[in-house]
Amino acid sequence: MDAIYLDHAATTPVHPAVIEAMTNALQTSFGNPSSIHSFGRESRAILDRCRRYVADKIGASEKEIYFTSGGTEADNLAIIGVALANKAKGKHIITTQIEHHAVLHAAEHLETLGFEVTYLPVNQYGQVEMRTLQESLRDDTILVSIMMVNNEVGTLQAIAELAAIIKDHQAYFHTDAVQAFGLEQINVAKLGLDLLSVSGHKINGPKGTGFLYAGKGVKFHALQHGGAQERLKRPGTESLPAIVGLTKAIELIVEDNYPHKASYENYRTVFLQVLAQEGITFQVNGAPNAYAPSILNISFPGTSVESLLMNLDLDGIAASSGSACTAGSLELSHVLIAMYGEQDPRTENAIRFSFGLANDAAQIKKAATKVSQIIKRLTKQSTIIEEVK
């Protein structure tokens, strides 16, 4: 039985063309880009080309792109880096309760260093409301970090409007675009962004790669120190084949004019249609009008996450309860708690299905049918248990 992979928000398969590009780079361009002989110069030329390409596709200049070892490092570099470099201007930071742990834990770390952090609440759709940002903003705020697409429920934030609020304020605006990147064109200037984080392995690129965009003039400290790579902000021999892979992954999306959004929208519709036809009781968690179609988070009343996940896995469906990073522990989702409060049953019966290149419409239909069967089985069981009690 071939498993159906509906966990693309955790990680994605590497695109064959990415593997090819990387293999080619590994075999032919192994020079250290800092070496001054021709091996080094060749690697340097490839690195420069990748940087220019990535920069161009988000409307930035090549000097504003810093390649990292992934989304976590990019988020940490943005948040801790900006905080440490700007503490003379203030020690207040604003973020939200529903960020990825790479942002939340970096912010908590800053609290131990004497920074003050405001964690904005969200409404029941997972949206940050404009007034909460306006009300929290202080003269000593130096950074606002709000994710573009939430990794658990897929809610899309009104980033341009949120960034506009602090346009004339000293604070920098950072967005974690790890889940958003690749669905639609992102233009940092149009959105009014100072910093933006992207991860490679969420867009069919390799693990261990990502980048941070930091606009010219944005002051931030390096997290690690060493050679002069990445304009001193991220020392360490550049992971060239991975950077080539990341660039290729972006190229595949851009040159095909961001093709995925429409198909994921279709998967989403099909999935929900099947559930409805099968008579399943469910509720979609997230914002009905502002969402990334790649992520579909659904609560099934009368079930529990553990038994759902186990049954899904046995039936060959790979899905997830929350973000992969917290999924291992099966702790309650901080995102759903922020949306509904701690006592709400929806925090305990939600499953995230996330779509990607490993899927097609037939698969989605099959998966939704299987999910329906499992839900019927499980809710029947729980009704019986209720009756016995």
Partner 1 sequence: MIYFDNSATTKPLQEVLESFHTVSESYYGNASSVHRLGLEASRILRKAHEQAGLLLNVNPEEIIFTSGGTEGNNLAIKGIAYAYQSRGKHIITSKIEHPSVLVACEFLATQGFEITYLPVDQTGVVKVDDIKAALREDTILVSIMHVNNELGTIQPIKEIGALLSDRRYTFFHVDDVQGFGKVKLELKDNGIDLYTLSGHKIHGLKGTGLLYVKKQVRLAPLFHGGGQQFERRSGTENLPGIVSLVKAMRVVTEYHLHHAEHIQQLNNKLRLELSHFPEVVINTIEDQAPHILNFSIPGFKPEVILHALTERNIFVSTKSACSSKKPDESAVLSAIQLPRAQSTSAIRVSFSYHNNEGEVELFARVLKKILKDLKK
Which residue is catalytic, options 254, 270, 325, 337? Answer: 325
Q: Which of 17, 40, 184, 369 forms a contact with partner 1 (CB under 8 A)?
A: 40
A 10 A CB-CB count for 222 gives 18
Under rule CB under 8 A, residue 75 binds partner 1:
yes
Question: Shortest gap between Cβ of 386 and partner 1 (angstroms)?
Answer: 27
The residue (of 42 and 251) whose beta carbon lies closer to partner 1 is 42
Q: Which stretch binds partner 1 (CB under 8 A): 50-58, 71-79, 183-191, 261-269?
A: 71-79
Shortest Cβ distance from residue 131 to partner 1 (Å)? Answer: 29
Site for partner 1 in 235-274 (CB under 8 A): 235-242
The stretch near partner 1 (CB under 8 A) out of 6-14, 269-277, 291-299, 361-369 is 6-14
Please identify, using beta-carbon distances, which residue of 127 and 271 lies nearer to partner 1: 271
Among 72, 179, 294, 363, binds partner 1 (CB under 8 A): 72
Site string for partner 1, 298-337 (x = CB under 8 A): -----------x--xx---xxxxx-xxxxxx-x-------
| Residue of the chain from 2, 27, 257, 385 that contacts partner 1 (CB under 8 A) | 27
Smallest separation, CB 384 to partner 1 (Å) = 26
The CA distance from 284 to 286, in Å, is 6
Residue 331 in tokens = 């702790």
C-beta closer to partner 1: residue 135 or 313: 313
- The contact pattern for partner 1, residues 220-239, with x = CB under 8 A and - = no contact, is --xxxxxxxx-----xxxxx
- Which string of x and - marks every residue 79-118 that binds partner 1 (by CB under 8 A)? -x-------------------xxx--xx-xx---------
Q: Which is nearer to partner 1, 166 or 318 (CB)?
A: 318
Nearer to partner 1, 133 or 351 (CB): 351
Q: Does 35 bind partner 1 (CB under 8 A)?
A: yes
Stretch that binds partner 1, among 116-124, 203-211, 248-256, 371-379 (CB under 8 A): 203-211
* Smallest separation (angstroms) from partner 1 to the CB of 220: 14
**One residue of 51, 92, 174, 201 binding partner 1 per CB under 8 A:** 201
Q: Are 132 and 121 contacting, i.e. CB atoms less than 8 angstroms apart? A: yes
**Between helices 16-28 and 240-255, what is the axis angle to 10°?**
150
Taking the least distance from each CB to partner 1, the nearer of 11 and 136 is: 11
| Binding residue count for partner 1, defined by CB under 8 A | 75
* Interface segment toward partner 1; rule CB under 8 A; list 55-63, 206-214, 248-256, 365-373: 206-214
Contacts of 82 (CB under 8 A, 6+ apart): 142, 143, 172, 174, 195, 218, 219, 220
Cα–Cα distance, 104 to 325 (Å, whole number): 13
Q: Which of 141, 175, 209, 285 binds partner 1 (CB under 8 A)?
A: 209
Q: How far is the CB of 115 from partner 1 (least distance, A)?
A: 13
Degrees to nearest 5, angle at CA 200 with 3 and 158: 100
Q: Is 221 exposed, middle or buried (0-12, 13-18, 19+ CB in 10 A)?
A: middle
50 annotated active-site: no
CB of 189 to partner 1, least distance (A): 28
The residues carrying an active-site annotation are 325
